[in-house]
Amino acid sequence: MPELRIVKRCGEEAVIEATTGHSVMEAISSSGVEDIAAICGGACACATCHVYVSDEFRDLAGGPSESEKELLDFSENARPGSRLSCQIIMTEELSGLCVEVAPEEM
Neighbours of 43 (CB within 10 A): 10
Quick check: 106 pLDDT over 80? Answer: no
Q: 105: pLDDT confidence band, cut at 50, 70 and 90? A: confident
pTM: 0.95
CATH ID of 3-101, from 3.30.479.30, 3.10.20.30, 3.30.1330.60, 3.40.50.1970:
3.10.20.30
Of residues 59, 55, 46, the one with CA closest to residue 85: 46
Q: Would you say 53 and 78 are in contact if contact means Cβ atoms under 8 Å apart?
A: no
Q: Mean per-residue pLDDT for 75-94?
A: 97
For the chain, the average pLDDT equals: 96
Mean per-residue pLDDT for 36-45? 93
| Rounded Cα gap, residues 100 and 4, in angstroms | 11
